[in-house]
């Protein structure tokens, strides 16, 4: 039985880590982009951001004041048992969200969509979101928090099989150009592309691809992995850099996730995880110990399974970043 | 570090700013500020302008530098505030309130995210002898947070909450910002947009048109989308 206090303590720590510490994979990706950036203004912006991450860590201060809309991803091992059950777990995650909003502090961004009511704690109706996935042959629970900004950089389009890769490229470029102007997407970004699924699944896959996979990771399908590299290159040849200034720093990484869709369609979503790509993960073990890391390892062979039955004997489920 | 090491001209200004301070600024200059600044975003504009409450304090108190921002902050038990990170919010949303806002506040510098349109600079900023500074990144929240030395006052906290209240900050070496619009109404973003736009046709070259058009690609709402 995993103690509920361990889950809540870990969740509190994750909220602060996500808000303050830029993940290493994104930092390395941004440094690589800065090394080849020739646009003077864009290069100035990247330099300021690199200094900003240092200031955040030194001061234990949130890296950006738009601390996004905190949300949770929970991966539950098939053998895991949580003290108090899922209702207690959700209560602990809500308490951690509210607590960290005051203690870090984060900006209380969450308001009622119509009445603009703000509880000053980032909690409310359907907030924070909590999404779940499961893992075979495991007795741990993994918590990931993502603090993604919410206004600019995501879009959805129903394409058709005849649109092909060209259609996806066009939509990808449209989204990057539209939201990249004046830097509204806060690029360079980790761009997540969801291809397929139902409309809601398509959005979910693209968002998870942006927020829950690391810079430099690849989809296990080699043809999709090649597309990820091609799309990253395409985004960086638009001629637009940070803040929409002339430059090459648009895409730090491109991650694609797929889902089977309606035979007549090819829905696509594009998401941009910004200069403050905030995420933090911990595995909480059965004895309450927490192992922290910045790679959520959310997408697994089990999650991407294609067959009716999962075949646990053929291979253990691999967690890939 | 970067292949092309930035060598942008850097200017440090003290608030309230004087006309001569602003006259020297050119688009693309880097600016740091010392002195007093006040925040404002939709909640403040709606209350001050739209609902007719006016400003909660006179220009002599709040100064003439207005920041489109709300901080990541928390109220301590003793009533003081813990200011964490500070960044701007997108400014184009506030254009409608601008003329009355300039008249009411007498502000000469607006700091925000993403700038306004060239029309707004010509119509509202230039006649009011005001410039627009953009934050950098966006998201140098920790650097800007460091620059805030004290919370001098907070207005309308009860009415608007932490994320919308009007904050009065004492700042030191507060920045970096970039001059987006100068006193003549020139725009850095417009200049850069034009440079990027010049290459866009080449980026899209060879991609076939979409199978189905989208509502919004034409202004004619009676046109069938196929």
CA–CA min distance B70, chain A (Å): 8
Mutate one of A101, A160, A182 to test the B interface: name it (highest B CB count within 10 A): A182
Which structure tokens are listed for A119? 């509880």
CA–CA min distance A177, chain B (Å): 9
Same domain, A223 and A76: no
Same domain, A78 and A161: no
Task: Specify the CATH number of the domain B10-204.
Answer: 3.20.130.10
Q: Is residue A210 part of a domain?
A: yes
Cα–Cα distance between A79 and A74 in angstroms, integer?
Answer: 14
Contacts 24+ apart (CB under 8 A), B51-58: B54/B104, B55/B104, B55/B105, B56/B155, B56/B156, B56/B166, B57/B153, B57/B155, B57/B168
Task: State the residue range of the domain holding A158.
Answer: 151-275
Does B1 have pLDDT greater than 70? no
Same domain, A145 and A9: yes
Does B214 have pLDDT greater than 80? no
Q: Is residue A32 part of a domain?
A: no
Q: Report the candidate in B8, B28, B14, B179 with the shortest Cα–Cα distance to residue B110.
A: B179
Same domain, A77 and A156: no
Query: Are β-strands B10-14 and B30-39 bridged in parallel, bridged antiparallel, or unpaired?
Result: parallel
A188: nearest CA partner in chain B: B137
Same domain, A139 and A167: no
How many CB atoms sit inside 10 A of residue A87's CB? 9
The beta-carbon neighbor of B4 closest among A43, A48, A169 is A43
Q: Are B177 and B111 in contact (CB under 8 A)?
A: yes
Domain count, chain A: 2
Same domain, A10 and A98: yes
Mean pLDDT of B207-212: 88
Q: Is residue A23 part of a domain?
A: no
CA–CA min distance B200, chain A (Å): 7
- CB-based burial of residue A113 (10 Å sphere; 0-12 exposed, 13-18 middle, 19+ buried)? exposed
Mean pLDDT of B49-76: 92
Ranges of residues in chain A whose predicted pLDDT is under 50:
none
| Chain A positions in Cβ-Cβ contact with residue B144 (cut-off 8 Å) | 65
Does B99 have pLDDT greater than 80? yes
Q: Tens of pLDDT along B7-62?
A: 899 999 999 999 999 999 999 999 999 999 999 999 999 999 999 999 999 999 99
B30: nearest CA partner in chain A: A44
Q: Tens of pLDDT along A25-71?
A: 999 999 999 999 999 999 999 999 999 999 999 999 999 988 999 99
Same domain, A139 and A284: yes
CA–CA min distance B103, chain A (Å): 27
Mutate one of A34, A39, A42, A52 to test the B interface: name it (highest B CB count within 10 A): A52
A181: nearest CA partner in chain B: B193
Whether residues B203 and A237 touch (CB distance < 8 A) is answered with yes
Same domain, A165 and A143: no
- CB-based burial of residue A281 (10 Å sphere; 0-12 exposed, 13-18 middle, 19+ buried)? buried
């Amino acid at each position: 039985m995993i103690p509920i206090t361990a889950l809540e303590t870990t969740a509190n720590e994750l909220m602060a880590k996500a808000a303050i510490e830029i993940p290493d994979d994104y930092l390395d990706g941004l440094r690589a982009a800065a090394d080849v950036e020739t646009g003077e203004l864009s290069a100035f912006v990247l330099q300021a951001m690199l200094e900003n991450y240092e200031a955040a860590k030194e001061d234990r201060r949130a890296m950006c004041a738009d601390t996004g809309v905190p949300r949770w991803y929970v991966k539950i091992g098939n053998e895991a048992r949580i003290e108090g059950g899922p209702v207690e777990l959700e209560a602990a995650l809500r308490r951690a969200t509210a607590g960290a909003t005051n203690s870090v502090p984060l900006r209380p961004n969450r308001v009622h969509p119509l009445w603009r009511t703000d509880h000053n704690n980032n909690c409310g109706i359907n907030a924070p979101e909590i999404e779940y996935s499961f893992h075979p042959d495991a007795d741990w629970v993994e918590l990931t928090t993502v603090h993604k900004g919410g206004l600019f950089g995501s879009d959805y389009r129903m394409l058709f099989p005849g649109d092909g890769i060209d259609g996806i490229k066009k939509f990808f470029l449209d989204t990057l150009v539209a939201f990249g102007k004046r830097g509204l997407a806060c690029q360079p970004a980790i761009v997540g592309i969801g291809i397929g699924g139902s409309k809601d699944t398509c959005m979910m896959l693209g968002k998870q691809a942006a927020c829950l996979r690391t810079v430099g990771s690849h989809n296990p399908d080699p043809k999709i992995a090649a597309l990820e590299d091609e799309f990253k290159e395409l985004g960086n040849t638009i001629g637009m850099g940070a803040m929409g200034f002339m430059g090459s720093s648009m895409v730090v990484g491109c991650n694609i996730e797929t889902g089977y869709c309606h035979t007549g369609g090819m829905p696509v979503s594009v998401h941009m995880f910004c200069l403050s790509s905030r995420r933090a993960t911990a595995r909480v073990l059965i004895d309450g110990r927490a192992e922290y890391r910045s790679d959520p390892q959310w997408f697994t062979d089990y999650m991407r399974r294609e067959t009716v039955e999962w075949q646990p004997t053929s291979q253990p489920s691999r967690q890939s970043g | 570090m970067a292949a092309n090491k930035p060598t942008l001209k850097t200017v440090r200004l003290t608030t309230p700013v004087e006309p001569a301070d602003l006259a020297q600024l050119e688009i693309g200059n880097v600016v740091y500020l010392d002195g007093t600044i006040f925040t404002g975003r939709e909640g403040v504009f709606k209350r001050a302008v739209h609902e007719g409450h006016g400003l909660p304090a006179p220009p002599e108190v709040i100064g003439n530098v207005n920041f489109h921002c709300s901080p990541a902050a928390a109220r301590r038990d003793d009533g003081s505030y813990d200011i964490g990170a500070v960044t701007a919010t997108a400014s184009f949303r506030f254009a409608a309130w601008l003329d009355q806002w300039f008249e009411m506040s007498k502000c000469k510098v607006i700091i925000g995210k993403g700038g306004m349109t060239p029309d707004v600079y010509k119509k509202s900023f230039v006649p009011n002898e005001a410039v627009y500074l953009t934050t950098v990144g966006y998201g140098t929240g920790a650097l800007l947070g460091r620059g805030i030395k004290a919370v001098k006052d907070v207005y309308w906290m009860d009415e608007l909450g932490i994320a919308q209240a009007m904050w009065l900050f004492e700042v030191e070496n507060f920045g970096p910002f970039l001059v987006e619009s100068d006193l003549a109404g020139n725009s850095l973003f417009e200049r850069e947009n034009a440079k990027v736009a010049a290459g866009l046709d080449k980026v899209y070259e060879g991609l076939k048109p979409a199978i189905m058009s989208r509502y919004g690609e034409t202004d004619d709402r009676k046109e069938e989308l196929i």
